[in-house]
Structure 1
Amino acid sequence: MEPLGTSTVLLVICLSCLLLSAIWKSQANKRRKMPPGPTPLPIIGNALQLKTNRLDLTLCKLSEKYGPVYTLHFGMKPVVVLHGYDAVKEALIDQAEEFAPRGKMPLVDKLVQGKGIVFSNGERWKQLRRFALTTLRNFGMGKKSIEDRIREEAQYLLEQLQATKERPFDPTFLLNCATSNIICSIVFGKHYDYDDKKFLAIMAIMNDNFEIASSRWGRAANIFPSFMNLIPGPHQRMGTNLEKSKEFVMEEVEAHRETLDPSSPRDFIDCFFIKLDQEKNNEASEFTTENLLMSTIDLFTAGTETTSTTLRYGLLILQKYPEIEEKVRKEIDQVVGRSRLPCMADRGQMPYTDAVLHEIQRFISLIPLSVPHSVAKDTLFRGYTIPKDTIVFPLLTSVLHDGKEFPNPTQFDPQHFLNKDGTFRKSDYFMPFSAGKLICAGEGLARMELFLFLTSILQNFKLKPLTDPQDIDIKPHLSSIGNVPQHYRLCVVPR
C-alpha cells in the first residue's frame, strides 16, 4: 500500500475512534441522570446480556440487581425497563400523559413508516385511534351483535373440527380463520371460507411475521437495525410479507371505493372513505389512503394473531392438564348444557372456566414487554431523568408473574384467580392487554372471543394429545416481542 494511502486509513481510523469516544462520553453524562443498569459496551451496548432464549425472564432477573426501574442499551440507544406492578402502574396510569407516546421499533418502523394506528404517534394516532374505536363500537364491538357473530363463527369452527374425523391436525390456521373472520366482518364486511386460498395465504403471512418478530432475528433487527439491514435472514422476509398484505387489503379497498354508498356504510373501510371525503380539504387531516391501508392492516392483524395465538397456547396447556380440561367441561355441562352454544351471559356463572381463561393469559404473557412506549418530554420518574423520546418497556411478565400476587407464578394454576369459596377472584395485576392510554383497543372483543371459542370447543370435543401429557412442553417456542407456543398437532374427539 502506498504510504499516503496508509496514512489516510490511519487518519480515518483515528478520527472515527475520537468521534465514537466523544459520542460515548456525551452519552455517559446523560446516563448518570438516568436509572442505573449494566455498563454498556461501545457500539453493542448490552447485547451480551440480552443473548437469551427468554428475553422477558432475563429482564426480570436484571431487576434483582438494578431495581424496578433500570436502563439497558440496545446497541447505542438507551431504553428504560419498568419492572413490577407499582412501577408499571405509576408510569402508564399515574403519569399517563408523559408515557403515552409509542416507542420506536426499528424492524417495524422501517416497514410501516409511522402510518396507521398501532405504530403512529401524536395527532395522527389521536385521530385514527379515536375514529377506529368509534367505528368499531358502531359496528357492534362490545355489543350483543358482535357476540352473535362470534357464536355463528364458533359453529363454523366446530364444523371444521368435526371434519378432522379424529385425525391429527395443526390447529393454527383453523383458529386464525375463526378469529380473523370476526374482525373481517367489521373491517371488510364479509366472511371468508376456511379453504379460501388467498385468505389462508394471508393467515400464513401474519403468523410468519409474528414468529419472525418474536425470534432472535427480530430482536437483533431492533437492536442493530443498520447492520441487520445489510445481512440476509428471516427478518428480511417481513417486508415482502407486508407488501403481500397490502395487496390483499388494497383489493378490498378498491372494491369498496367503487361500490361506496355514503348513506349506508357497510364496514370500517366505508366509514374511513366517508371521513376521507369529508376532510379532503383539511390539510391537517390524517384521513388519507395510506393511513386507510395501514389502519386496516393494523386492525386485521391485531384482531387475528394475538387472540388465535392465545387460543392455540391454551389448547396446548389444557392437553398437558387433562384434569383442568375436564373440570372446565363439567362446568360447561352444568351451566350451558349440550343443547345450545355458550353465550356471554353464562360467564358469570362459570367462575372456574373464567379463572382458567385468565390463567392462560397470565401464564403465557403473550406480549411480555408490552408494545414499547416512550416519553413525550424529559421526564422525572422516581428520582431519575428519562430523556425525551427514550424507549420504555413496561415488563408485563413481571406483573403477570408477580410471586406475591400469584404464588408459584411459573406454574399453571387456575387457583390464582379463585377465592377459597370457589368464586372468581379479580386482580389488578391482570394486565395482559397493557394499561393506560395505549391499552389494547380490542380488549373487550378478545375477551369475548376467548370465552366463546374455547367453551364451544370443549363443550363439543375432548382434546386428545399425541404424546403423554407429562411430556408436553408448554414453554415458549420463541420469546421476544411475543411468547409463541411450541408447534404441535392434536386430535379432537366428538363427545
Structure 2
Amino acid sequence: MIFQAIFDCMDFTGWLLFGFVLLLFTDVVRNWRPHNLPPGPWAMPFLGNVFTGVDFKTMEKLAQEYGPVFSLRRGSERMVFISGYKMVKEALVNQLDSFVDRPVVPLFHVVFKGLGRPFNPHYTITNAVSNIISSVVFGHRFEYSDQGFRKVLELDNEAVLLAGSPQTQLYDAFPGLLKYLPGPHQTVHSNYKEIVMFLRKEIEKHQEEWNANDPRDYIDVYLAEMEKKKEDPQAGFNTETLLVCTLDLIEAGTETAATTLRWALLYMIHYPEIQKKVQEEIDRVIGQSRHPTMADRPNLPYTEAVIHEVQRMGNIVPLGFPKMASKDATLGGYFIPKGTAVVTILASVLFDKNEWATPDNFNPEHFLDSEGQFRRRNAFLPFSAGKRVCLGEHLAKMELFLFFASLLQRFTFSPAPGEMPSLEGVLGFTHSPEEFKMLAIPR
C-alpha cells in the first residue's frame, strides 16, 4: 500500500529522478572495483575516466601517484596500465603467457623540390619506406608522383593522429552510441574506408592477373592459399581477411619506420655535431663510392647508437599496442582477471630513470660501451617484448639502418633559415614530429 501510494504521487520529474538514481546505483554496483584490482583515480559514474588524458606524460604522472600497476575505467570497461622497465618486463617476458591476447578496440574494429630549398620531408620519407612493404605485398612500388597512393598515405596519417585524441577514445568507451554521432572517430572510419577501397582494387587486379604457377608477391601467395582452402570456409582464407591482412602489413610497415626516420632527421638538425660524427664514421668505413649494406652495420657502432637513441627519444608508440589478460594473473601484488585490457607503457621504459644515465636528453652514449662499441640495452623496448613483440622488428631495423646511413652519406641536413623545428612532437596513436621544413645539402 505504501509503495502504491508513492508511485501514485510521483510525477514525470519524479520518475525521471527515480530512473536516474536507479541507473546510478546499477552503475556503481556493476563497476565496483574488485578486491585487489590495481588502484587508480576516482571514476565518474557512467563515463569512468574517459576525460583522463591518454598521452604518455599523463600516464607517467598517474604511475607516480598510484604505482607501476594502475587502472582506469572507460565506460564500464577497466584497463590496466603497466609502467617502468621492471614491471613491463615482468608482464611481457617473465609472465610470457599471461598477457598475449588482444582486446577488441571498437575504433579500429569497424575496419575489416629542390635540395637547395626548404622542403617538408614527411611524405617523401613515408612513400620511400612504404615502397618496401608495398613491393612485398603488391609486387611493385609507387612513384612519388602517384597522387592516389599519396592520398592513401595522407588518409592514414590523419587517422593515426586522430586515433590518439581523447575525443576519439570516447568511441572505444561508448561505440554503440557514438557511431551515430559526429566526431573525429567518424573521420577515422571514413579514412579507413577509402584506404580499404584502394586496397580492394589492388586485390581485384591481382585476381584478374593471377597465375598459380608464377606467384609475384604476398597477395598472389594468399590467393593460392584461398584456392587450396576453398572447400574449407572455416580455414578463414577469404577476400575480406586478405583485405585486413593487407591493411595491417601496409600500415604497420609504413607508419612507425617513416616516423622514426623523420625523428632522425629532426635530431640531426638539432645536433649537428652528432650528425658530423655519424658522417665521419660512414666516410671512414664506407666512403662515397658505394651504398651502405647490412654487412656494414657491425662496423658502424656510433651510427647504430644514434639510430637506437632516436628510437628511444622519438618514443614512437608510447603506450604500445593494447593487450588482454589471457588468464587470471597477479602482477605487482594485484589481481588482474582474465579478459582485462592491459597497456604496457613503453614510454615509461624508454625514459626509466633507473635504466638510463640521462633519460631526458638525446645521448647516443647510452648505447656505447667504454671502448666506443655498440652495446645492447635490456630496457630498449620500442618494439615491445614477449609473445606480442612487433613482428616487423627485424625489417624495421634493416630499413632504419639502410635509410639513415644512406641519407647521411649523401646529404647534410640543416634547418630552413629562421625555422628551427620543434622537438616537442605531436601525440596521436603514435608520437610523431610536428610538420617541419629543412635543407638537404648534397655532400
TM-score above 0.5: yes
Letter in 2 for 1:487: E
| Cα 1:15–1:179 shift into 2, 3 Å | same
| C-alpha RMSD of matched pairs (Å) | 2.1
Number of aligned residue pairs: give it: 437
Aligned equivalents of 1:382 and 1:406: distance in 2?
Answer: 22
- Kindly indicate whether the alpha-carbon contact (under 8 Å) linking 1:219 and 1:480 is maintained by their aligned counterparts in 2: no
2:70 corresponds to: 70
- Kindly indicate whether the alpha-carbon contact (under 8 Å) linking 1:371 and 1:393 is maintained by their aligned counterparts in 2: yes
Consecutive unaligned residues of structure 1, counting only runs of 5 or more, are 116-162
1:407 corresponds to: 357
Letter in 2 for 1:434: S
Alignment of 1:432-471 (within 5 A): 432-467=382-417, 471=420
- Kindly indicate whether the alpha-carbon contact (under 8 Å) linking 2:70 and 2:82 is maintained by their aligned counterparts in 1: yes
- Kindly indicate whether the alpha-carbon contact (under 8 Å) linking 1:369 and 1:395 is maintained by their aligned counterparts in 2: yes
For residues 143-177 of structure 1, the C-alpha deviation after alignment (integer angstroms, 9 at most, x for no partner) is: xxxxxxxxxxxxxxxxxxxx523111111111111
Q: What is the Cα deviation at residue 223 of structure 1?
A: 4.3
Runs of 4+ in 1 over 6 A off after TM superposition: 3-6
Aligned equivalents of 1:408 and 1:256: distance in 2?
Answer: 51
- Kindly indicate whether the alpha-carbon contact (under 8 Å) linking 1:279 and 1:285 is maintained by their aligned counterparts in 2: yes
2:11 corresponds to: 7
1:192 corresponds to: 142
Alignment of 1:6-45 (within 5 A): 7-30=11-34, 32-45=35-48
3-state SS, counterpart of residue 284 of structure 1: helix
1:392 corresponds to: 342
| Cα 1:416–1:467 shift into 2, 3 Å | farther
2:4 corresponds to: none
1:97 corresponds to: 97
Aligned equivalents of 2:144 and 2:40: distance in 1?
Answer: 49
Q: What is the Cα deviation at residue 425 of structure 1?
A: 1.5
For residues 295-341 of structure 1, the C-alpha deviation after alignment (integer angstroms, 9 at most, x for no partner) is: 10110111111111111111111111111111111111111100011
Instruction: Decide which of 208, 217, 228 is 2:167's aligned counterpart.
Output: 217
Letter in 2 for 1:390: T
Letter in 2 for 1:42: P
3-state SS, counterpart of residue 108 of structure 2: helix
Q: What is the Cα deviation at residue 29 of structure 1?
A: 4.7
3-state SS, counterpart of residue 145 of structure 2: coil
- Kindly indicate whether the alpha-carbon contact (under 8 Å) linking 1:36 and 1:71 is maintained by their aligned counterparts in 2: yes
Letter in 2 for 1:28: W
| Cα 1:456–1:483 shift into 2, 3 Å | same
Q: What is the Cα deviation at residue 258 of structure 1?
A: 1.5
Letter in 2 for 1:96: L
| Cα 1:46–1:216 shift into 2, 3 Å | closer
Instruction: Decide which of 187, 196, 205 is 1:255's aligned counterpart.
Output: 205
Q: What is the Cα deviation at residue 388 of structure 1?
A: 2.3
Question: Quick check: 212-221 or 404-413, which moved more?
Answer: 212-221
1:203 corresponds to: 153
2:267 corresponds to: 317
Q: What is the Cα deviation at residue 480 of structure 1?
A: 4.4
1:486 corresponds to: 434
Letter in 2 for 1:83: S
Aligned equivalents of 1:312 and 1:439: distance in 2?
Answer: 23
- Kindly indicate whether the alpha-carbon contact (under 8 Å) linking 1:214 and 1:483 is maintained by their aligned counterparts in 2: no
1:106 corresponds to: 106
- Kindly indicate whether the alpha-carbon contact (under 8 Å) linking 1:216 and 1:480 is maintained by their aligned counterparts in 2: no
2:86 corresponds to: 86
Identical counterparts, % of pairs: 39
- Kindly indicate whether the alpha-carbon contact (under 8 Å) linking 1:56 and 1:480 is maintained by their aligned counterparts in 2: no
